[in-house]
Amino acid sequence: MTKNRREPRTYYHQYREPRVLFFIHEQSFSGLIIDRSVEGLGIVIPDEERDIKPGDIISSMYIVHPEKDYCVEGLTVAFAKRDDVARKINVGVMAAGQEQKDQLTAVFALLMEARKPAKKKRKKKVEEKKRGIHPDRIPASRMLNHYDDEAVKSRLDWIKEFYGINARYLKSNRLYPERVVGHIENYVGTVEVPVGVAGPILVKGTYTDGYVAVPIATTEGALVSSITRGARACNMCGGVKVHVTRQHMLRAPMFICQDMDGAINLQRWIEKHREEIIAKAELISSVAKLVRLEPVLFNNALHVKFFYDTGDASGQNMTSACTFFACEWIETKVKEYSSIKYRHYRIEGNFSGDKKLNYQNFILGRGISVVADAFVNERVLRRLLRVTPSDLVDGWRNAEVAAAQIGMFGANINFANVVAGVFTATGQDIASVHESAGGIIKVYCEGDGVRVSTVLPSLVIGTVGGGTSLPSQRECLEIMGCYGSGRVFRLAEVIAAACLSLDLSTMAAIASGDFVHAHERLGRNRPKKTLAKSEVNKKFISQLLYDKEAEVISAKTKDIDASAGVTSSILN
């Protein structure tokens, strides 16, 4: 390992370094590979006062892998530097010749290798080409047949051919392919996510007045139980009061002129023809209503924010179509004005904040804005949540300071868990979780208990359209009484109540010290495989030996101390 080396090197991150075992003069050394190149390796080993010096020949080095250890022979120690402070030795290992370089290259290629298309004979390649099978493209199908059984099978066969995956679970579902038309392309199957029912929550609002069970799709243990615990605490004290404050969906096309003067004139033209633009936009949809236009000027670009009421749909695609039609009409009218110097427009200029957490949507709202409020008395806090009012409030007061210090949008504990769980279960646009989960929770002492209040300013949800009509998703909406027209505000109320319930339960668990215990009990998914006594035999012990020439003659069992480990008892 020369100081002036020029070959490219790969450096491993801490805790991701490959382990090695190597032998010098029949002494064994173990350590970690810190970096590597085609020339050799950088290794760190514990300082055990054993002799290792430049020029030593490494008779064999084993690079450890969970499935198979790889051996390289004939390497040379280039340098060995002791670090007395860290109590370790930094060792540089060089490949003695081209044969060793090739060995190292082959070993690390095996360690890094992902699934790759298998190499095939020329004759088979020709046959694949005739059948239209290529490793660099998914089998094509006409749009009319894109979702039929034959097209789906061709894509699954392609996955099996080039990636060696049978995908039997992916393709095993009860969803008819034609049901996903308009929802996905290159369809091959479904992913099952466990769904649990949280609550029920006593929701008291304009569109909801009663107990609502909330389907949550998640793989996080303890989440459904925590929502249920928080809901029970609220229920025992009168439930969660909710109220929808506003609804609008935003699209923001961008118009480009030759200079700023042209953009200024375009802004004035749009303000003058506001009613005509609204009429054109609303021709495309019987649902969408354009309620406001807001031009924003920047140099020669004019961004125009279109604010819509979208009924019971989330409305991203609907408002895109309406805005496109309006922009096309604007273009036909202004392109001949010499004072405007119009060049072109783009349907989206990134001003709408679609699927991105941002201050505009947090302050002004995008989708549905909803508030929730609940009172929980001291008796319920102590008996059910095992926390006092003052401990709960003090804990969250300090957490709010931390939220401000890290620049959090709002301040909450885990609204995203509820939003993601409900979105997945009910066929919402999952990418909108990012902006929809931003919100604020506030808790303060009141009377003999605490008052908990929340706001979610940007819930992008719908009860019609999108994935809401898929069978399982529809059933989850129906459980909450939220499927179909006239139900989207009810869905917003339920989500807000669930977010309040979860954060109340979580902040109480943190304050009381139950948080980790609950996740250890309900949220850990440990491997279930254990080592049976019958498996500790000659073959098992042989696999533990690095010297592959060694042979285990016999292996006998004996009673051991139950508090001792299997390996330590064998060594004794």
- DSSP for 241-285? EEEEEEEEEEE--EEEESSHHHHHHHHHHHHHTHHHHHHHHTTS-
pLDDT of residue 317: 87
- Report the DSSP pairing between strands 75-83 and 57-58: antiparallel
Q: How many CA atoms lie within 13 A of 84 on its CB side?
A: 0
- Report the DSSP pairing between strands 88-95 and 75-83: antiparallel
- Specify whether the backbone of 161 is left (phi greater than 0), alpha (psi in -120 to 50) or beta: alpha
CA distance 226 to 213: 14
Amino acid at 483: Y
Whole-structure pTM value: 0.76
Residue 466 Cα distances to 85, 250, 314, 419, angstroms: 61, 17, 8, 16
- Work out the angle between the directed axes of helices 389-405 and 488-512 (0-180°, nearest 10): 110
Q: Is 519 a catalytic residue?
A: yes
pLDDT of residue 4: 47
Amino acid at 124: K
- Work out the angle between the directed axes of helices 316-334 and 260-272 (0-180°, nearest 10): 110
139 preceded by cis ω (within 30°)? no
Tokens for 405, please give them.
């210090």
pLDDT of residue 125: 54
pLDDT in tens, 47-56: 776 778 888 8
Q: Is 429 a catalytic residue?
A: yes
pLDDT of residue 564: 47
CA distance 419 to 368: 13
Can you tell me which residue has the tokens 């009012």? Answer: 389
| CA nearest neighbour of 234 among 439, 522, 503 | 503
- Report the DSSP pairing between strands 27-36 and 209-217: unpaired
**Residue 430 in 3-state DSSP?**
helix
Residue 142 phi, psi (nearest 5): -70, 150
Can you tell me which residue has the tokens 């495989």? Answer: 529
Contacts 24+ apart (CB under 8 A), 294-297: 295/267, 295/270, 295/271, 296/351, 297/260, 297/263, 297/264, 297/267
Catalytic residue among 56, 354, 429, 493: 429
CA distance 456 to 372: 9
User: Are the beta carbons of 107 and 72 closer than 8 angstroms?
Assistant: yes
- Report the DSSP pairing between strands 410-411 and 439-446: parallel
pLDDT in tens, 451-473: 999 999 999 999 998 899 898 99
Q: Is 549 a catalytic residue?
A: no
User: Are the beta carbons of 274 and 407 closer than 8 angstroms?
Assistant: no
pLDDT in tens, 506-520: 999 988 876 666 555
Tokens for 173, please give them.
């579902």
Helices (H), 337-429: 359-364, 378-383, 389-405, 415-426
Mean pLDDT in consecutive groups of 10 residues from the start of the chain, 572 residues: 59 84 86 85 82 86 79 86 84 82 79 52 50 73 79 86 84 79 84 91 95 94 92 96 93 95 95 94 90 94 94 89 94 93 92 86 89 96 93 90 88 94 94 91 94 95 91 94 93 97 93 67 55 66 67 72 44 41
pLDDT of residue 85: 83
Contacts 24+ apart (CB under 8 A), 22-30: 22/58, 22/60, 22/61, 22/62, 22/75, 23/58, 23/59, 23/60, 23/61, 24/52, 24/56, 24/57, 24/58, 24/59, 24/77, 25/56, 27/51, 28/546
Catalytic residue among 47, 220, 276, 391: 220
Determine the Cα angle at 113 with ends 16 and 109, to 5°: 85
CA distance 339 to 262: 6
Residue 213 phi, psi (nearest 5): -85, 140
Catalytic residue among 134, 146, 273, 519: 519
CA distance 158 to 431: 28
Rg (CA), the chain: 32
Tokens for 32, please give them.
């970690």
Residue 186 Cα distances to 115, 140, 147, 445, angstroms: 21, 9, 8, 54
